[in-house]
Structure 1
Amino acid sequence: MRVDFYQLADQGARISVLAALAAKLAEEQERLLVVAEDEGLLASLDRQLWEAGKATSFLAHGREGGPDDKRQPVLLSTRTTAPNLARNILIADGQWREAALKYDRAFYLFGEETLGGAREAWKALGLTSDAERHYWAQEEGRWVEKG
């Protein structure tokens, strides 16, 4: 099990990380569950994914609760269960969820406002699980592994 921590420099980084990770997983025929507690954040991510797809290429995705949940390569949800049978989870709201450890890979996005929780999650994972941890931060517009 692997957990990738992404420290977001700004709110715009959230959608760029999400779109890049989702596109890479889609190339590998993998599915992704995107989790956030806030319905407003999920609606914003949904809208931004559609907008991002117009500029580059279409990234199939949907919001949980639709008739095609099982078929969605990227599913946005408030819950940590994956109707689309994803083995990858992306936590978009900076609130760590232990249920992420049931997935093959977790992507944990956090910003300044959730930095304390990210530090706690990093430490706890190092002490209590066999999760492989990676920490990423932006430098000069690129993602660089810091730990």
Structure 2
Amino acid sequence: MRVDFYQLAGESAENLLPLLARKVRADGERLLIVSEDAEQLQRIGRNLWERFPEAFLAHGHSGARHAERQPILLSADCEAPNAAPHVVFADGRWRDGASNFARVFLLFGEEQLQGARDCWRMLGQHADAERHFWKQEGGRWREGP
């Protein structure tokens, strides 16, 4: 399992997600976006439509009709009825179900920094976890130490 940690400094998860979703979809993969914050999921949904209108980031909500058909699914939990191999934890919280996915994106801000550090250390003890850390520099995302 590959885990990408994205430290949000001056960027919101809602603004970053269309970039990640566009890349995942360009690779022909499906995506599950998880947040326990219903309002955040609504903002994410709006940004998926509006941020890159030419990209057509079609999506739906877990529990809605035809959720299993959606290329991008928004959910409050870690279940993927759309059989997505990739998951984004948009609210900065790690979930036990992460091991069911090939790739995990953990987006975290200053308030989740300690939790992200704890998660990094915990995953360092798992031989099957490949960890990557991303931060913004000069308006671009760069992989860092």
Instruction: Give me the TM-score of the superposition, normalised by structure 1.
Output: 0.93
Residue equivalent to 1:22:
21
Residue equivalent to 1:60:
58
Residue equivalent to 1:80:
78
> 1:117 Cα shift?
0.3
Residue equivalent to 2:32:
33
* 1:94-113 aligned within 5 A: 94-113=92-111
CA contact (8 A) 2:22 2:55 kept: no
How many residues align? The count is 145
CA distance in 2, matches of 1:92, 1:129: 25
CA distance in 2, matches of 1:71, 1:118: 32
SS in 2 for 1:18: helix
The one-letter amino acid of 1:25's match is V
CA distance in 2, matches of 1:129, 1:102: 16
The one-letter amino acid of 1:60's match is A
CA distance in 2, matches of 1:49, 1:23: 9
CA contact (8 A) 2:49 2:57 kept: yes
* Unaligned stretches of 5+ residues in structure 2: none
Cα RMSD, aligned residues only: 1.3
> 1:98 Cα shift?
2.2
The one-letter amino acid of 2:7's match is Q
Flag as ranges the 4+ runs of structure 1 deviating above 4 A: none
Residue equivalent to 1:9:
9
Instruction: Give me the TM-score of the superposition, normalised by structure 2.
Output: 0.94
> 1:66 Cα shift?
1.4
Indicate the percent of aligned positions where both proteins have the same amino acid: 50
